[in-house]
Amino acid sequence: MCGIIGYTGPLNAKKILLDGLSQLEYRGYDSAGIAYFDAASKIQLVKKTGKVANLKEFCSRIQDNAHCGLGHTRWATHGDVTDQNAHPHQAGRVTLIHNGIIENYRELTRDYGLEGKLKSQTDSEVAAWVLDALYEGNPAKAIQNLLNHLEGSYGFCIMFADRPGEIYAVRNVSPLVAAYTHSGAIIASDLTALIPYTRRYFVLPEQQIVKLTAYQLTLYDKKGHPEEPEYLEVNWNMDAAMKNGFPHFMLKEIYEQPEALKNTILPRISKGLPDFTDDQIPDSVFETCDKIHIIACGTAMHAGMVARALSEPLLRIPVIVSIASEFRYEEPLINENTLVIVISQSGETIDTLAAMRLAKSYGSKTLSIVNVKGSTIARESDYVLYTHAGPEIAVASTKAYSVQLAALYMLICRMAFVRGKYSRDQSAAFLSSLLDVIPAMETMLSRKEEEKNLVTHLIQQSDTFFIGRGRDYAFSLEGALKLKEISYIHAEAYAAGELKHGTIALITEGVPVIAIATQERVFSKLISNVREVKARGAFVILLTKSSAVVEGNLADIHIRIPDVDDAFAVFPIAVILQLIAYYASLGKSLDVDQPRNLAKSVTVE
Ligand code: F6R
């Protein structure tokens, strides 16, 4: 949450900052601002509520050159959405941008007598004033001192009025990645802002200061001695972060799923079996555990729910799924024999990270499934399985979900093999079914007009129910989340058998019910539940496999997916659910990629 960028070098800093903010906008879009040294080495500040386009338009009227500056796009935590609360914040000689939350800002306000000085309601401005009070001409020393006073999470980029051309940065939990290129030094909260300039970058180690100038980038260890950064390479290219002819990132990312699945699955097949040798995950991790605990948030957690429904009956060990924000404050029943699987697209979600740290403190082995290379969760987990979805820009997660599923399916298959639940032939057959989902997803993508037409009824309603049983229920959780977050239609997922224990009271004439019925084992039960809602006037959208036999008048709309094995139906179903949400949002003329109140990468609690 909150996108931050800093640049110093020979190029046009204002352009780099504003372009970078457009790339980072998915991290927050309440307000945006930049600060830069002008030709007279004075710091200029421009900040505006609204989107980056608003700031860009305003900046286009300012004719001055800049080669060093900071930019910020905000997701509001402390303080309303106002120009004053927008970043950068200025306090005496200090100008800074911040991503995170300073928890002890009240105490600091009192201790440093800041009450009368603050121009905004933000915790970030408090940190700026404290830093100004500590600054005696040595930036690194003052920042180091500041860290001793702060509680909370932060990614700061800082300029000092008497240090033109220099940027200092430091972080705790909140992400920051940096690079030195032949055209200057750049730092940002996210790789997407760096890839137009370089693919070589490093993750700023926590509580270490980095100094950027046009000619040099210096990383200091915690004692203040220079240290060589650990550079990483990313294979994302600029195209991956552009819309490439699609009207929205979300639609583009939905279409990228078959490719993302290939990239995630194919390099990990060896001799017909899932193979994690290159990921350095030994079979002992799968052999020794007596329980699996999956931890994640939102869509990633829903991928975990599908994995649970698949793995528990197969592996015959308990598989538990926890919402990370709950798990982190519990006293979990886990130990050194528990395999904790942590799922996160960004690898930076604060609740997931905290939950993983808690799991480690219980001695459990942690295996993360992460999309962003070098992210905190990836670095801190004992093992990491990277998904290869490329950058996901739309706030609503789509391709990250299907690659998380693919990674989980491969892990489950390997586990079943090493634990003797699957023979070599059964494992190979499982993998072959997994690969079959790729053409099945392509088929659903080629029929997108079906989803486009079915939302006509949906978008006139205020509530929608998703129902399913077993795995279909797990799929429906994600369908409901996708619909509500981008179309603002209230959507709930229910285990179909649970409806008549209360919720069916809400089914009246025309209320949409999206029924997912892909699982042979519970198919007839689910169809009975569909009849029950139909009898109460529901507008039924039924999703089944092609070969399913249902009476003609049961559903108002019936969508059929290709006949994949039941265990794999989630993949083509995910495409339909994503497209339903996409077209519903479009049909209501909403901002598909940047829905209200949300932001990608939730780095605050
Ligand atoms: C919904 C969505 C969120 C994320 C959740 C976890 O479309 O994107 O629910 O799935 O915030 O994010 P990561 O996977 O980055 O930990």
DSSP conformation letters of 101-168: EETTHHHHHHHTT-TTT-SSS-HHHHHHHHHHHH-SS-HHHHHHHHHHH--EEEEEEEEETTSTT-EE
Which pLDDT score is estimated for 62?
87
pLDDT higher than 90, residue 420: yes
Per the document, the length of the chain is 605
- Would you call 289 a catalytic residue per the annotation? no
Torsional sign, CA 136, 139, 141, 143: positive
Q: Around Cβ 453, how many Cβ atoms within 10 Å? A: 11
> Would the CB of 28 count as within 6 Å of ligand 1?
no
pLDDT in tens, 55-105: 999 999 888 889 999 999 998 888 899 999 999 999 999 999 999 999 999
Which pLDDT score is estimated for 29?
86
- Ligand 1 centre distance from Cα of residue 345 (Å): 7
pLDDT higher than 80, residue 239: no
- Ligand 1 centre distance from Cα of residue 397 (Å): 6
> Would the CB of 573 count as within 6 Å of ligand 1?
no
For residue 400, the ligand 1 atom closest to its alpha carbon is 14
pLDDT in tens, 428-483: 999 999 999 999 999 999 988 887 888 999 999 999 999 999 999 999 999 999 99
CA distances from 565 to 243, 276, 429, 559, 561 (A): 33, 24, 11, 17, 11
Average pLDDT (256-276) is 97
Burial label, 572 (beta-carbon count in 10 A; 0-12, 13-18, 19+): buried
Instruction: Give the strand pairing for 167-172 and 152-160.
Output: antiparallel
Q: Confidence band (pLDDT; 50, 70, 90) for 48?
A: very high
pLDDT in tens, 317-342: 999 999 999 999 999 999 999 999 99
- Ligand 1 centre distance from Cα of residue 599 (Å): 9
Whole-angstrom distance, CA of residue 500 vs CA of residue 489: 22
Torsional sign, CA 301, 302, 303, 304: positive
> Would the CB of 372 count as within 6 Å of ligand 1?
no
**Tokens found for residue 118:** 């603050």
Q: Please tell me which residue in 252, 373, 484, 600 is annotated as part of the active site.
A: 600
Angle at which helices 399-418 and 424-446 cross, to 10°: 170
Which pLDDT score is estimated for 596?
93
pLDDT higher than 80, residue 604: no
Return the amino acid letter for 544.
Answer: T
pLDDT in tens, 164-218: 999 999 999 999 999 999 899 999 998 889 989 999 999 999 999 999 999 999 9
Q: Around Cβ 266, how many Cβ atoms within 10 Å? A: 11
- Would you call 157 a catalytic residue per the annotation? no
What pTM was estimated for this model as a whole?
Answer: 0.90
Whole-angstrom distance, CA of residue 401 vs CA of residue 407: 10
Which pLDDT score is estimated for 7?
98
Which pLDDT score is estimated for 280?
98
- Ligand 1 centre distance from Cα of residue 601 (Å): 7
pLDDT higher than 90, residue 158: yes
Which pLDDT score is estimated for 241?
75
**Tokens found for residue 3:** 């996108």
Which pLDDT score is estimated for 76?
86
CA nearest to 555, candidates 523, 520, 522, 512: 512
Report the percent of the chain where pLDDT is more than 70.
100
Whole-angstrom distance, CA of residue 342 vs CA of residue 338: 12
End-to-end alpha carbon distance in the chain: 11
For a pocket test of ligand 1, which of 401, 405, 602, 603 has the largest count of ligand atoms closer than 8 A to its C-beta? Answer: 602
